[in-house]
Structures are given as structure tokens and as C-alpha cells.
Structure 1
Amino acid sequence: MNILIGGAWPYANGSLHIGHIAALLPGDVLARYWRARGKSVYYVSGSDCFGTPVTIRAKQEGRTPSEISEAYHKEFCEVFQQLGFSYDLYTKTTDKRHMEFVRAFHKIMYHGRYIEEREVKLAFCPSCQKVLTDRLVVGECPAYGMPTRGDQCDACGEVLEADTVVNARCSDCGSALIYKKSTQLFLLISKLETELRALLNNHPDWRKNAIAFTKRYLDEGLRDRAITRDLDWGIDVPKDGYADKKIYIWAENVLGYLSTSAVLCKERGIDFEELFGENALHYYVHGKDNIPFHTIILPSLILAHGKNLRLPDRIISSEYLTLEGKKISTSQNWAIWAKDIAARYNPDTIRYFFIANGPEKRDTDFSWREFVERNNTELLGGWGNLVNRTLVFIVKYLDGIVPKGVLDHDTQSQIETAFAAVGEKIETGKFKEALDSAFDLVRYGNRCYDAGEPWKTRAQCPDACANTLFNCVQIIACLSMILTPFLPFSSSKIVKWLDLTSKWELQQVPAGYQLPQITILFERIDKRYAEEELEKLKMQ
């Protein structure tokens, strides 16, 4: 089976913060798990380099959109590498291969029955003397009256058209707007309601927020959306008479999942249609605010394309992450930047926290105190303790040679249960429960060690001591595989120490195996660091 895992494409207009990492990390867990299962994995993403957010940042810094997006793209790549994101292809929307794919995809759509030309009103600021993109329009949401931008209301999640915004004003100067006429291409989403509703009804296993958001969009009535705009920065429209326009960002960035997949398919020598056919499983991993783009927009584009390509299977949509009890705000500098936390802390500690305490089913909060506490009690005190005291004991007292023993029936049962439970929960997007199940086996291993008391039986009953250590080594070996999707850095050390395979199956370390030098997996983080980090945050 072919497994496509699409991670949301972050805007290349500013540094990534911990909210991005919390939302995207489940994609890497999925990719590592399915590879261990022997499946053909296509884990793809990239930097979203076009669009108004990039041009706004470029204007603020006196640089070109290309310079800004390329700088942040490089930063994203470095952060993802530091945190162990194992993308098969991480690219950018300015990549020539993506742009060519999008233009070819659009050409096919334009010949179908779901695209039509319409005359529209474009927002124009008489003071600034310029046409405004939707994101540069501010006002009140037509649905609930909350402050909003012209592209999407953050309060209710509604995807908007700028000319529907109440009391519309220019975000740069605050002037009231006038509207000029222009011809644009529209995607007739309203004609796809039957297919989109069937997609929703056929996937009761989607996250609750995805089901609720998508159902609301359908029930409130789908609106047709412009797929071209009068812009300077973007992908050219492949249609005569549209030389002064670009493809609207929402109609090209989500196609990045397809364009990157096409590149990988070509490299691997398989047909693109095979990956987007029946013998495949597709995951899309993103934050709550991106739900409509993956359950409405992306399926609409695929359906309008008309080539019977596979629609999304599983929507892994997180809730929101707050920071020390407050909403993350980049404008107010209330954020922990991914590049900073990645540079200062063990990547597995970061990964562990954002799975164990991630916003999977509800909003969760990041606090430095809890971050430190979880590292010290759960990673160091639980998992690291089991590994260190077992293997170091063997090195110290048994010349590093794994002793003879027999795998206890209960131990084997616990291991088999863990493999099955963790695998099933990862596959269905229940990552926190999966990690909890893995740590059930960690706790079981520590109980076995304590009950066996090898520090006593080493002299009193060497055979019992040997059997305890043998069983603990087998538990550690299996846990190194079970925890690889979550904690790849520390797991890879154990795999090397014990000469294990990378397959999702029971691992065995034979009696007589010579252990190498063992090092500590996790360092204790002094509690004062939590206070220092909190002070830094408040001083930003």
C-alpha cells in the first residue's frame, strides 16, 4: 500500500513557532511508523512562498518577496531537520516543478464544467492608490460581526470574499474602500456540494473539529471562489487574456501535496495515478484554521480536475496551543520560536512534550515548568532510567555481556499488546494514546526490574538476576522500535547499541551479545531553566 502524508505548508513570512510544531509533528510520527511497517511512504510538504503575507513582510523589511520567502524557507528546513522531521520531499511553492504542475493542473480544470469567468469587484484604496488583496482588507465579519481580514475570519473560521466584509477599510491607512470591476476565473464549489457532503459522510473517523467545521460550511451553503487575482507575486494563469493576473494562493498551495507527490513518483518510477488511486491511504496533517482548505478547497480542486484522483482519507487537524495560559501572538511577540527551542533542548524532549501534551482533541497549554517536569520525570526518570540502569548494570557487573534467560510469558504478552495498541492508535491519529500505551510498557519494564532486584540477586541468585536482566533487555529492544516514531534520536542510539532491525516487530537481543559503551539518553533539566525561560519570554 502507498501512504501519502501531507504536512501543511507554512507561510514563509516569519519564523515557525511552537504552535506550528505541535500541529505538524504527528505527520512525522505517521511517516516513521508506516515506513517501519514496510509501506511505501510519501511524506511531503514545503514552504508557502506566494501570497499577501509574504509581500507584506517584504515591504516591511525593504526586501523582495523572493528574498524574504527564500530566507524563511531555509530557516524552516533547518528547524525541521533539527527536530527530526523525516520528509521524503520538503520543497517550496516557488519551485519550478510545483509551478509547472499547478499550471498544467489548472489548464485541465479550465476545460471542465466547474470553472467560469465572472466580473467581480476588486477592493481599491483611494488613498494608497492601489488594488488590495483580500488579506489587506479589514472590517467586520458578515456572519457574526467580529473584526476580520478580507480572506478569513479568525474568530469563526469563515473563508470570506473581500467584498462581503462589512465596513471594509484599508489595513495600511484605514481609509474606506471603493471597488473596481475585474474579470476573474471562479471555481464553482457550489456545484460540488453532493460530492463534498458524501466525502464528509464517508469519513466519520475524522477529528471532531474537522467534521464540525466541514458540516457547517456545507449547511450554510457553499460559495463559489475566485481562483485568479490581480497580483504581481504568484504563479502565472495558463489562459489567454490573463497575463496581468496570478493564480490565487489558495488554488495553488494545497496542490503542493500533488506536485511533490508527482516528483517523488517520477524519482521512484511509479505512476502518479497509482499513488492517487485505490491502493493508497492519504493523511493530511494541519492546524484547526486550515480545516476548510483540506476538506472543502482541496477536494473541490481535485473534483474539478476531473481525473478521478483520490480524495483525502484522514484529516489530522489539531486544536490550538496556548503559551503560559495566553494565546500565541507573533505580532505581540508572545511566542516561543521553533528555531530557539530546537537549538537549546534535546529534540526528543521537544517531540515528547508536543505529543504527550499536544492539542490533539482540545486546546492545550505550553508552560516551561511542565516542559521541564515532563523531561525529568517521564523521559529521564521513566524511560531513560529503565535503559540506563539495565544496560549500565550489565556493563558494570557482567562485562557488558547480555546474560542467558527466558522471555517470560507475561513479558512477551505485554510487548505484543504494546505493538498492537500503539500501532492501531498511530494509524487512527490517536497519538497521545499511542504514546501512553508505549509508556505503559516502560512502566512495566521498571516494575520488572524493581521486582527482580538484580542488585541483590547478583550475589544471592545469579540465575534469577540474569533472567531479570535478559527480560529487561528484550523490553528495551522492543520499546526502542515502538518509540522510534515519537523519539527517533534516542531510539536510534539503542538500535545501534543492541544491533536491532528497523522493522515494526518484536526485537530480540541474544544472550551473549556484547554491549558497547552506554551513554545517558536524557539529561536532567534544572528547574531554574523554566524560570529563566519564562523571564525571557516576558522580556521579548
Structure 2
Amino acid sequence: MHVEPQKFFLMPIPPTPNGRLHLGHIAGPYLRMDMLGRYLRTQGHRVDVVSAVDGFDSYVLWKALQEGRTPQDVCSDYHRQIAHDLASLDIVVDDFLDLVQGPHARRHAENARRAIERLVERGLTETIVEKVLYSEKTGRYLAGAWLVGHCPQCGAGAAGYFCEACGAHFRPQAMVEPRARMGDDALEWREVESLFLRIDEEEPLLRSIAASGASPRFMDVVRRFLAQEGRRVRLTAPGEWGVAWSADRFGNPRVLFEAGWEYALTCGDQCASEADEMHPMYRNCDTTTLVSFGIDNAVLLLAGSAAVMGALPDCKPFDYVLTNYFYNLQGEKFSTSRLHVVWAADIVEATPATSDAVRYFLARESPEEETTNFDVDAFIAFVNDELVSTLQARIHTAGAALDNLSGELVQICEPLSGELAAMLEALGVSFRLNAVTVRGACAVLLAWTMRPGIDLSDAIQAYGWLKGLACIAAPVMPRLANEIWWALGHDGAPLQAQLWTATRPRGGLAVRQWFAPLQRDSLDRCLPAGQLRERSAAHA
């Protein structure tokens, strides 16, 4: 079936450069967006993936204080390390920007300031006086990373403006039992003026968010926020680290409160300039846009970003959103402060595990509908039983049969062609833009892998099965898919338009090893120290 090529702009949410990426980060917005991008490319679409680091997050300041470095150095260093973590798991980002410094920093600041100026000019903003704790000793406003306490909605421990437990977003003065994170005393409540966007019509915004693919639970978070804040979205915050805005009438410095929309403008600029085309976030642009993020950013991206972009006369919100919940490690939340983490690059660079194996397992366990968990023993069993003993063994059998066709012109025959078409249709359902499910894509991959009634020792059947495997596995296990595609006589990455084309197989799959057996000891170099101590105690 012919698919008309389309243009897509994908923006995985910018990570904060206060540390590396761990598997909890990867399993959420980054792997899912990469899989969608790879699927769209197999359809022949043009896909631009552009993101950045969220360098003006106050957690960068806290990290700089901890490490005795400037925030600029911290941002630059972790920008590089995050890029390496993404690349180690074959997560493609065409442009990954540092907007604190470097060639795009000025444009980013100009984009953000001009957008807010236009909202002010259109009479869509309100100035609200609020109270923030201020330290005379350090000169810090206790907001963002510097403020801890308990969520006013669910009572869980919270920091800054957000509650990770329930997704709530609130003003600093609403924090229950507020206190300084570190080093700030002589505290006083100080009045500050903050700029907010006023949302005059809530229902059109909610309809737009729902149409973008936000789940009912995410919608509930947004509705609670809009009711709590009187349909207002924050645009500025007190402080000096960020894109500067004019001081308030009390003399307090202010910066723009980043909520994703400003990154959409600058990352979209990069996408447009490289292709010499219209900005993808403009209303009359035919590029389809998507953003991915977790529940901790639901208010920022669904209410804040969508409201701001919708209020700008020539812009549009993201067309679609990919959302996720948290991903735990051994039943507990990933924690960089406690070093309860598995760093993304370490699991493939310090152990026998491969990128394809990690990607498949994370996708199969994706937290797309609820919080899920990376269990080390389950990962080992998955690699050993499902990949080494089953998938790899079946590829070896099919590869040996394929070698008998080396150099001959071959194509997929019935009944495999009809069955494969049905599988590809199911894969397409998994990647519907308003309901992406990478778990569903993994289920299709497993069904094709274990397809009954096929004789993989028969060369023609092996050829058809391998072709289907390459196309279906391409979003999940790109290295495996590309090698199979090449062995079948194609070049480049799998394309569904070439699936039915006759080729001359090159072979060579019968002895290739993609997956190695794992043992618990072989993963020790990437596991948190606490897990190693627990295992040692259990065997003592």
C-alpha cells in the first residue's frame, strides 16, 4: 500500500543537565519517541528529532553548588554525557542543543522574551503578587530546587513547584511545611510579582489536549491545576538564573518560567532552518509535531505549553503528545541522590548486554499506562530465554536456509505475504499518533517471531520470515533489523515500501551473534551498590 510521505517534528522533553540519564529516563519519553520516529521512517516519512537540555532549571544551580563548578560548566558537561547516554542506546536526536551557551543561546532568549511580550501586548496576561521565602544570607528565593516540603494536594514529599507523586503543580507559598533544601537561613516571606497567562476559555484548551492523545488521568491532573489556579499559567518566576525578564515593582529580579513552549520555538527554528522550510510550530505549517514527557511534567506541557502556544497568534500547540508514568528499579524509584540507578550507557558499555536487548526489554515493560519496574532477574531471564535461546536460534536456522539462496532473485510468497501484511497493519495500530503503545509494538514483534506453522529450514519461508522480522523489529531493535535487512539484499534501514521488492540475499546470518547469555555477576558493574550489598548479604 502506498503511503504519501509526510513531515514530522519530534521533540523529546529536554532533560535537566544535572546528571546523566538512567534507565528510568530512557524507558519513558526517550525510547518511546525514538521508536515512533524509527517507525515513521520505515513508512518513508521525513522525521526531524530536535531537543535540548533544560539548562535553566534551578537544579543545575544546586548541582553546581554541590560540585563546586559554575552552572555553565555543569550544563556543558552533562549535555555531553546525556548525549552519550542517548547514543549508547541508539536513541537518535538529530540536533541536541545547549541553549544556555553556544550558537543558539541568544536566539532562544529572544524567542522566549518576544513570545511573552506578544502575550502582554494582546492583553492576555495578569500580574499577581505572591509570597516566596527569601534568604537574606544567600540572596536566594526559595523556589524550584531550593524549596522542599509536602504537597498541598496529596501530602507527599515535594520540591519546587511540583509533586512527583500526584503530578500537582502549585505556587511556592502553597507548599506545606516549607523549608530550605540547604544553606539558606534568616528566611523571610517576601512579596514578589509574577506574570501569568490568563486562560479565558478552558474547554477549547481541554479539547485540544484530549485530541493530542493525553490520557484521562493526565487530563485530570490538568483540570485540577486549572481549577486550583483560576485558569492561570505561570510565565515568570523570581530569580536570576534563566532568560531574564524585567524586575518587578519591588525590585525583585525575574526570569521566564520555562514550560516547554520556548524549547518548541527554538528546536523548531533549528528544524526549519536546516530544511529551509516553515517553522513546524506555525499554525499553517503541514508538519506534524509531537512531544514526549512524563507525568511529572504534565502540567507544564499540557496546560502551560499548550496554553501559551495556543495564545500566540501564529503558533500552534504540539499536535500529539506521548506521555508516560514512572519507571522503577527493583521496586523503588530511581534516585540519583541515593545512586539507586542504572546509567544508560553503563549497561551496554560495562556488561555483555546489548542496546537492542535493553531497548526491547524497556519497551516491553514501558510505563506508558502505569508505573512499571526494571527487575534485574527478569531482564536476565528475558535475554537468556527469549533472545538467546529463542529469537537468535530461530534467526540462525533461517539464516542457514537463506544461505542457499545467496545471489538468487527472491521475493516474499503467499501465504506469508498476506500474513505479514496483517502484522504490519497491527504494528501501524500500535503507532497511531494519538495512542502510541510501544508495548503493543513489542506484542506484534513477539507474535511474528513465534509465528506457528512456518518452516524456517525452508529457504523461501525463511526469506519471508526474515523480511517481516526486519521491518517489525526496526523500531525496537534497530541494529538487528538493519543487519537482517542487509543480509536479505537491501541497503540502509528497513523500508516497508521495499518489503515486497525482490532481492538477491547476501546471507551471513547463520553464525552472527547478537545476544550473549547473561548472569547476575555480569551485570554487577552497572548495578547500584545497594543491590550488590543486598545480594552479598543474601548469600552470606
TM-score normalised by length of structure 1:
0.87
Give the whole-Å Cα distance in 2 for the aligned partners of 1:289 and 1:274.
24
Question: Shift of the alpha carbon at 1:182?
Answer: 3.1
Kept in 1, the 8 Å contact 2:202–2:231? The answer is no
Q: Separation in 2 of the partners of 1:517 and 1:211?
A: 48
Whether 1:61 aligns to 2:47 is: no
Map 1:47-58 to 2 at 5 A: 47-58=53-64
Aligned to 1:414: 419
Residue aligning to 1:11: 16
CA shift in 2, pair 1:370/1:539, >3 Å: closer
CA contact under 8 A between 2:134 and 2:190: conserved in structure 1? yes
Structure 2 matches for 1:307-326, cutoff 5 A?
307=314, 309-326=315-332
Separation of aligned partners in 2, 1:249 and 1:220: 19
Pick one of 248, 253, 265 that aligns with 1:258.
265
Structure 1 residue aligned with 2:175 = 165
Partner of 2:518 in structure 1?
526
- Matched residue type, 2:141: V
| Match 2:485 to one of 492, 495, 510 | 495
Tell me what 1:381 maps to. 389
Residue aligning to 1:538: 531
**Pair 1:98 & 2:108 matched:** yes
- Residue of structure 1 equivalent to 2:91: 85
Matched, 1:304 2:304: no
Instruction: State how far apart, in whole Å, the 2-side matches of 1:271 and 1:129 are.
Output: 44
Partners of 2:56 and 2:329 lie apart in 1 by 29
Q: Which range moved further: 518-527 or 508-517?
A: 508-517
Aligned residue in 1 for 2:399: 391
User: Which of 257, 271, 295 pairs up with 1:288?
Assistant: 295
1:343 maps to amino acid: E
Change (3 A) 1:239 1:523: same
2:237 partner letter: R
Tell me which residue corresponds to 1:426. Answer: 431
Which amino acid in the other structure matches residue 39 of structure 2? Y
CA contact (8 A) 2:196 2:235 kept: yes
Kindly provide the amino acid, as one letter, of the partner of residue 414 in structure 2.
H
1:222, distance to aligned residue in structure 2 (A): 3.8
Rg bigger for which structure? 1
Structure 2 residue aligned with 1:329: 335
Comparing 134-143 with 47-56, which one deviates more in the overlay? Answer: 134-143
Deviation of 1:514 after TM superposition, in Å, equals: 4.3
Contact kept? 2:377, 2:520, Cα under 8 Å: no
How far residue 418 of structure 1 moved from its aligned partner, in angstroms, is 1.2
Which residue is 2:202 aligned to? 193
Q: Quote the residue 1:469 is aligned against.
A: 459
Task: State the Cα deviation string for residues 351-389 of structure 1 (Å, max 9, x = none).
Answer: 111101111212211111111221222223333222222
In structure 2, the residue matched to 1:461 is none
Q: Per the alignment, in what secondary structure is the counterpart of residue 160 of structure 1? A: coil
Q: Is the 8 A contact 1:213 1:291 kept in 2?
A: yes
Look up the SS of the partner of 2:258 in the other structure.
Answer: helix
What CA distance in whole angstroms lies between the structure 2 residues aligned with 1:122 and 1:296? Answer: 23
Amino acid in the other structure paired with 2:302: T
- Choose 517-526 or 110-119, whichever is displaced more: 517-526
Contact kept? 2:363, 2:438, Cα under 8 Å: yes
Residue identity matched to 1:199: S
TM superposition shift of 1:19:
0.6
What is the rounded CA distance, in whole Å, between the counterparts of 1:155 and 1:514 in structure 2?
53
CA distance in 2, matches of 1:342, 1:513: 30
Q: Which moved more, 1:78-87 or 1:231-240?
A: 231-240
Write the deviation string for residues 487-517 of structure 1: whole angstroms up to 9, x where unpaired: 1111111222222264223625747644357
Alpha-carbon distance, 1:77 to partner: 0.8
**Are residues 160 and 263 of structure 1, via their aligned partners in 2, closer, same or farther at CA, if it must alter by over 3 Å?**
same
Pairwise CA distance, 1:183: 3.3
Q: Secondary structure at the match of 1:409?
A: coil
Q: Is the 8 A contact 1:369 1:531 kept in 2?
A: no
Q: Is the 8 A contact 2:130 2:193 kept in 1?
A: yes
Structure 2 gaps of 5+ residues are 1-5, 534-540
Greater CA drift, 256-265 or 311-320: 311-320
Q: Structure 1 residues 511 and 57, CA, compared in 2 at 3 Å: closer, same or farther? A: closer
Query: Per the alignment, do residues 220 and 131 of structure 1 end up closer, same or farther by CA in structure 2, a change over 3 Å counting?
Result: closer
Q: Are 1:123 and 1:178, in contact at CA under 8 Å, matched by a contact in 2?
A: yes
**Larger mean Cα displacement after TM superposition, 213-222 or 355-364:** 213-222
What is the identity, as a one-letter code, of the residue corresponding to 2:8?
A: I
Q: Give a deviation string over 1:290-321, Cα, whole Å, max 9, x none.
A: 111111010111123232x2223332111221
Q: Percent identity at matched positions?
A: 21
Distance change in 2, residues 1:231/1:410 (3 Å): same
Q: CA deviation at 1:90?
A: 1.6
Q: Which runs of 5+ in 1 are unaligned?
A: 455-467
Q: Is the 8 A contact 2:55 2:75 kept in 1?
A: yes
Deviation at 1:242, TM superposition (A): 11
Which amino acid in structure 2 is aligned with residue 49 of structure 1?
G
Asked if the contact 2:245/2:256 (under 8 Å) is kept, the reply is no
Q: How far apart, CA to CA, are the structure 1 residues paired with 2:481 and 2:275?
A: 28
SS at match of 2:17: coil
The answer to whether the 8 A contact 2:524-2:532 is kept is no
Residue correspondence of structure 1 range 114-263 to structure 2 within 5 A:
114-126=124-136, 128=138, 130-173=140-183, 175=185, 177-189=187-199, 191-202=200-211, 205-220=213-228, 222-237=230-245, 245-251=253-259, 253-263=260-270
Which shifted more, 107-116 or 471-480? Answer: 107-116
Give secondary structure in 2 for the equivalent of 1:376: helix
Structure 2 residue aligned with 1:352: 360
Partner Cα separation in structure 2 for residue 498 and residue 405 of structure 1: 9
Q: Which amino acid aligns with 1:19?
A: G
The equivalent position to 1:39 in structure 2, one of 37, 41, 45, is 45
Q: Retained in 2: the 8 A contact 1:474–1:508?
A: no
CA RMSD of aligned residues (A): 2.9
**What is residue 537 of structure 2 aligned with on the other side?**
none
The whole-number CA distance in structure 2 between the counterparts of 1:237 and 1:490 is 50
